[in-house]
Amino acid sequence: MGKLDGKVALITGGNSGIGFAAAKLFAAEGAKVVITGRNSATLQTAAEELGANGLAVQADATDPASADKAVAAAVEAFDGLDIVFANAGIVAPTPVGGTELAIFEEVLKVNVTGPFFTVQAALPHLRAGASVILVGSVLANAGSPGRSAYSASKGAVSSMAKVLAAELSPRGIRVNTVVPGATRTPIWGQTTAEGMAQLESVLGRSIPLNRLGEPEEVAKAALFLASDDSSFIQGAEISVDGGAGGSPLGAPIYRQS
């Protein structure tokens, strides 16, 4: 018996990285899964891997009409919604003194406006006991240079999740946030294994567990929040970051030996 038997999940950004790992895991646990993204090629590949339990919908997270379209497709195909994993996100450098308005606003639109309107679109169709999961980042609180828009957007996600939890509690809908640290996905822009290994050798030294996370490790936390195993968890955050957020001074760069 799967942890999500009989449930229907909408996963934005389900054609790559953490979202795709979650789509596969949720489907393996018995859910019907609707994934969104903009890239039709990766959407199709992901849909083929999900098979009859999956449906891919091309939808831009910055466009509320697109969110409505994705929700409508999910409801038509699978009759209702139980889980929203508002995962789609982008990162872009926005150093102060050298940033165009358009890129700053794009990051906020995808990462903040997107999840809000995804949840709003899903709301009329969410069944009692539904679970909404947003995606924050360890960078919300890290003071990482050149990341004003991204860090602000993820801080906003964490704040917004608490408001949504308050607003949706009367309907028995839970809203929680998974907070990844550096995770091995295409978001880092590395196209080769060597490039990724080099990045990891640098980044890992600032992570107590001395490595990047795997998208499947974040997906497992999302599964916990999506399932009834977390039935009394509301307005909470789960960090999946190898200790980077909670115990940063345990990182290899600070070790004496």
CB 217: neighbour CB atoms within 10 A?
Answer: 17
Distance CA 34, CA 9 (A): 6
Give the residue among 67, 195, 70, 85 at the shortest CA–CA distance from 130: 85
CB 39: neighbour CB atoms within 10 A?
Answer: 12
182 contacts 203 by C-beta, under 8 angstroms: yes
Write down the least CB distance from residue 85 to ligand NAP, Å. Answer: 10
Query: Where does this chain touch ligand NAP (CB under 6 A) — which range of 35-43, 117-125, 193-201, 242-250?
Result: 35-43
Question: Which listed residue (10, 87, 174, 245) binds ligand NAP by CB under 6 A?
Answer: 87
Looking at the Cβ atoms of 100 and 170, the one nearer to ligand NAP is: 100
Binding mask 14-33 for ligand NAP (x = CB under 6 A): -xxxxx--------------
37 binds ligand NAP (CB under 6 A): yes
183 binds ligand NAP (CB under 6 A): yes
227 binds ligand NAP (CB under 6 A): no
Question: H or E element: which one contains 240?
Answer: strand 237-240
Q: Which residues are catalytic?
A: 150
113 contacts 60 by C-beta, under 8 angstroms: no
Query: Where does this chain touch ligand NAP (CB under 6 A) — which range of 60-68, 165-173, 219-227, 243-251?
Result: 60-68
Give the number of residues in contact with ligand NAP, rule: CB under 6 A: 28
Query: Where do the H-state alpha helices sit in the chain?
Result: 17-28, 40-50, 64-78, 101-108, 114-122, 148-168, 193-203, 215-226
Residue 73 is encoded by which pair of tokens? 């497709």
Residue 85 is encoded by which pair of tokens? 């994993």
Write down the least CB distance from residue 24 to ligand NAP, Å. Answer: 13
Question: Which listed residue (25, 62, 173, 245) binds ligand NAP by CB under 6 A?
Answer: 62
Looking at the Cβ atoms of 28 and 142, the one nearer to ligand NAP is: 142
Distance CA 255, CA 257 (A): 6
89 binds ligand NAP (CB under 6 A): yes
Binding residues for ligand NAP, rule: CB under 6 A, are 12-13, 15-19, 36-39, 42, 60-62, 87-90, 110, 135, 137, 180, 182-183, 185-187
